[in-house]
Amino acid sequence: MTFESFIAARYLRARRKEAVISVITAISVLGVAAGVMALVISLAINNGFRNTLQRNLLGATAHINILEKDPGPGIANSRELIPKLLKIPHVTAAAPVLYGQVFLTGPLASQGAILKGITLSSELRVSETLRRLKSGSLDRFQADTILIGSRLAQDTGMIAGSNITVVSPQGTMTPFGSRPKSVRLRVAGTFESGFYDLDDKWTYVPLETAQRILSLPDIVNSIELRVDDVYLAPQVAKEAERIAGPLFASTNWQEQNRQLLKALNMEKIVTVITIGLIELIAALNILIVLVMMVMEKRRDIAVLMSMGARAGQIRRIFMTQGVLIGITGTVIGLIAGYSLCYLANHYQWIRLDEQIYSLSFVPFEPRPFDGLYVAAVAIGVSFFATIYPARNATRISPAEVLRYE
C-alpha cells in the first residue's frame, strides 16, 4: 500500500469528532450504490424487453417479405422465383405463403383471425412458431385442418381434434353480390409463440386449403425469407428486391417494427440520462465530504507538509479518498443490481397484462458490458468530484496553521 492510500484509508476508517462528515460519507457511498444499482436494473429491463420481443418476433415471423409492389392478383411464379432468392448470400430459407382475413366460429365465441396458408416443410425452415405446439401434432396437419394460436383457441373454445367453421368474405359471386364462403376444418393443434398478438389472431392451414377458402387460384401473396444474420436483413432485402424484379417490393423486420425499436432506443437514452442524475448527486456528496474533511484535517495536512510530504502526495490522499468512496459504492451497487435482476427475472416478480405489453412479465437481462460501463462512469464521476478539494488541500500554509500550536 502506498503512502497516499494508507493515509486515505486511515481517514475513512477513523472515528472523527465531526460525526456529520461520517454521515455524509455513508450517504455518498449509498448514493453511488443507488445510482449504479438503478442504472444496472434499468438497462437490464430495457435489454430484456428488446431481446424478448425481438426473439419472439423473429422466431414467429420472417426476416424479409417479398410482396407485390401494387395490389394485384398475387405472385404466380413463386416456384421459379424461390430458387433464385435462395442463391442470395446469407439467405437460409424461403417459403411461399398466402395471407387472408377470415372469421372463425367456435363453440364459445366467434372472432376475426389472420389465415396463413403455408407449405409445412418450408414454413418450419423460415419460422419457429409451429415448433412450439401447445397441443396436437404436426403429423395431423393435412388438407382441411388448421393450427390456431393458444389465445385464440381459448377465446373460441377450440381444442385439438375439434371442428371449427372458417368464414371468408372472398366467396362466390352471385346475382346479389359476393356471398361469404364457409368451410369446416378440423383443429390439428394449438401453438404458443410467446407473442400475444400472434397467439390471439393467427391461424395456419395448408396452402391449397387457404387458396380454396379465399377462392384464389394457385398463387401466393408473399414470399418469406430467413437470413443467418438478422442485422443484415436490410441489405439482403434490397438484393432480393432486385432479383425479384420491378413488380415486387421487399420489407424487413426492422422496417415492420420501426416504431417499437425507436421507442426502446429512446427509452434507453432517457433512462441513462435520468439515472445519471443520481450519480451527479452522489458526486456532489463526495465533493462536500472532501471539502469538509480538508477543513477538519488542516492541522494534519500542515504536519505532513512540514515533515516533507509533497503537494502531489497531499493531493493524491484526498483524490484516493474520493475514489475509494466511489469504488465501494460501485461494488455494492453492482452486487445489489445484478442480484435483484436475477431474482426478479427468475421468479417473475413483475407481472404484465399480455394484451397491452405482449409479455406476461417484465424480463430482466443484465449484460456484463453494461456493468463495466456503469462502473467506469461511476468511478470516473467520483474521481472528478475530488479534484477541487484535493487542490485546496495543497494550498494550506503549514506556518500559518501551526503558528499557535
**Cα–Cα distance measured from residue 372 to residue 378, given in angstroms and rounded to the nearest whole number:** 10
Identify the pLDDT of residue 309.
83
What is the structure's pLDDT at 344?
Answer: 94
- Please state, in angstroms and rounded to a whole number, the distance separating the CA atoms of residues 202 and 118: 12
Q: What is the pLDDT of residue 249?
A: 93
The confidence score (pLDDT) of residue 30 equals 87
Say which residue, 14 or 103, is predicted with more confidence: 103
pLDDT at 185: 94
Average pLDDT, the chain: 86
Is the separation of the CB atoms in 380 and 323 below 8 Å?
A: no
Q: If you average pLDDT over each of 123-137, 311-325, 334-348, which comes out highest? A: 334-348
Orientation angle between helical segments 311-346 and 258-296, nearest 10 degrees? 140
> Which H, E and C letters describe 278-305, residue by residue?
HHHHHHHHHHHHHHHHHHHCHHHHHHHH
Asked if residue 333 lies in contact with residue 37, where contact means CB atoms within 8 angstroms, the answer is yes
What proportion of the chain, given as a percentage, has pLDDT over 90? Answer: 39
Cα-flanking dihedrals φ and ψ of residue 60, to 5°?
-100, -25
pLDDT at residue 1 is higher than 70: no
- Minimum mean pLDDT among 20-24, 313-317, 359-363, 364-368: which range? 20-24
Residue 404: count other Cβ atoms within 10 Å of its Cβ: 5
Which residues pair with residue 98 across a beta bridge? 117
Confidence of residue 404 (pLDDT cuts 50, 70, 90): low
| Paired strand residues for 222 | 97
Residues 88-104 have a mean pLDDT of 94
* Pick from 85-99, 200-214, 391-405: least confident: 391-405
What whole-number distance in Å separates Cα of residue 74 and Cα of residue 145?
Answer: 23
- The predicted-structure confidence for 119-131, as pLDDT tens digits, reads as follows 999 999 998 889 8
User: pTM value?
Assistant: 0.75
Average pLDDT of span 280-297: 79
Q: What pLDDT does residue 171 have?
A: 66
Neighbouring C-beta atoms of residue 321, cutoff 10 Å: 26
If you average pLDDT over residues 203-213, what whole number do you get? 94
Summarised one tens digit per residue, pLDDT across range 132-187 is 899 999 999 999 999 999 999 998 988 888 999 999 987 665 555 567 888 999 99
What Å distances lie between residue 126 and 74, 103, 123, 138, 258, CA to CA? 20, 26, 5, 16, 21
* Best CA proximity match to 394, nearest among 322, 304, 284: 304
Confidence of residue 4 (pLDDT cuts 50, 70, 90): confident
Average pLDDT of span 253-280: 81
What are the residues facing 227 on neighbouring strands? 91
Distance CA 322, CA 11 (A): 11
For residues 206 and 346, give the distance between their C-alpha atoms in angstroms, rounded to a whole number: 39
pLDDT band of 268, cuts 50, 70, 90: confident
If one counts every other C-beta atom within 10 angstroms of the C-beta of residue 329, the result is 27
Residue 28 sits at φ, ψ, to 5 deg, of: -60, -45
User: Rounded to an integer, what is the distance from CA 131 to the centroid of its chain?
Assistant: 23
What is the band of 21 on the pLDDT scale with cuts at 50, 70, 90? low
What is d(CA 7, CA 4) in angstroms, rounded to the nearest whole number? 5
Torsion of CA 183, 187, 192, 195, to 10 degrees: 10
336 has a pLDDT exceeding 70: yes
For the cut 70, the answer to whether the pLDDT of residue 204 exceeds it is: yes
Residue 278 has pLDDT above 80, yes or no: no
Please, are residues 166 and 145 in contact by the beta-carbon 8 Å criterion? no
The answer to whether 98 and 168 have CB atoms below 8 angstroms apart is no
